[in-house]
Each structure stands twice: as structure tokens, then as C-alpha cells.
Amino acid sequence: MSTLPQELALLAYDGTTGRERTGGNLDLGLAGAVLFELALAGRLDVDGKRVRVLDPTPTGDPVVDARLAAIAADKPRSPHAVVDRTAKRLTQDVRDGLVAAGALRHERGKALGIFPVNRYLPRPGAGDEARTRLASAVRTGRSFDARTDALLTLVAASGLARAVFPDRERRPDRKQLKALAEAHWAGAATRKAIANRQGASAAAASGSGGG
């Protein structure tokens, strides 16, 4: 069974261009997926306003377990701070695993014949099972399992709703997506970490423009 980070990554990459579609926030989305994976496995929870390790036993996935060990070795932090720290090098590690498994194809090229470009193309059928689960959850209003709820939450928090649900009539509305992203502490933390990054980028752009 694929992990939540693997499923989110497969949904994030465009099958034609090989480019990720979160607007540069895939690392934070994947970090939220790691936290969800660990929370669903009973390894993490929030105690007060800090993330606590309940059980340091490895889950069996090397990418997830490396982050569990790092969280366990660190001091307790707020959920969005844990998302930020967990995101470091995470996209590369998840991608490398999917490439090794044959679920993603890595292509190297050049933009304008000069600038190196890396593309990651999901193999045909990769991610389809996750898309089917998500479509069913949206259509019926119920997912039947916590993993699908978590994945839908991550899609909402990471800004992938339009990519995953290209048909507007079948896409959850913005209020539903916001409610989903705030329903679980890992989703709320992912949303906050992304909002903080976007706010910092906007402030930096405004500052440089004003100079």
C-alpha cells in the first residue's frame, strides 16, 4: 500500500508536463502527509499546543521513519513548526523512492536550450486508485476511511483541488476545502505553514518592489 506522501506526490505531478502543481509548496504538503501518516499509525499526537511522539516504533517506510526519528530527537514544537522542519529534503526523498519503484519517470531537459529542467512524469495508472477514492468521497459525501479523509485534506491544504478535480461541478467548494484542511491538526498545520510561506514571499516581494 502506498503511503500518504507517495499518493500526494503522484497527484501533484502533471502527467503531461512532469511539473508539480502546488505552486512550490509540495514539500510542505508532503510534510503534512508524513504527520498524517504518523498520526494515523498512533505514533504522533498533539498535547496542548505541541506535537508529541506517542510511540517511536518504526512504521516500515524509510522516508516516514526517518522523520519520526527526527521528531522524536527534537524538542516538542508547534504543529506548523514540525511541518516546516519535516519538509527539509522531503520532496527529493519521496520522489527518489517513487522513481526507484517505477511510479515516476525522471526526465532531464533544457528550457530555451540553456536552463536545466527536471520533469517527473507519473507512469500511466499511477495515482488512479487515490483519485478514485477521492472522487467517491466527494461524490457521496463520505469516504469510509481515515486515509482518504487525510488525503483529501492534504489536497485541499496544498492547493491541488483544481488539478485533482478539474471538473468544477465535481469539485468541493472553497468553504468545504477550508473546513477539510482545518478538521485535523495535521491538516491545519499544513495549511498554516503554507500560508506563512506565502505571506513571507509576498512581504519580500513588496519590500523589494518598494526599494
All 3 cell numbers of residue 157? 491544504
**CA nearest to 83, candidates 190, 194, 191:** 190
- Select from 147, 149, 143 the least CA-distant residue to 181: 149
Residue in 182, 4, 6, 162 with CA at minimum distance from that of residue 80: 182
Q: Which tens digit of pLDDT belongs to each residue from 114-141?
A: 788 899 999 999 999 999 999 888 888 7
Q: Is 76:50 a contact under the CB 8 Å cutoff?
A: yes
Give CA–CA dist 198/206, Å, rounded.
Answer: 12
> Would you call 171 helix, strand, or coil by DSSP?
coil
* CA–CA dist 7, 33 (Å, integer): 9
pLDDT at residue 174, as a whole number: 75
Pick the CATH number of 4-205 from 2.40.37.10, 1.10.3630.10, 1.10.3720.10, 3.40.50.150: 1.10.3630.10
The whole-model pTM stands at: 0.92
At 168 the pLDDT is: 76
Q: What is the DSSP letter of 75?
A: P
Q: Tell me the C-alpha distance between 66 and 28, whole Å.
A: 16
First and final C-alpha spacing in the chain: 51
Which residues, given as ranges, of the chain have pLDDT below 70? 208-211
Q: What is the pLDDT of residue 138?
A: 84
Cβ contact 74:51 at 8 Å: no
pLDDT at 205: 76
| pLDDT score for 53 | 97
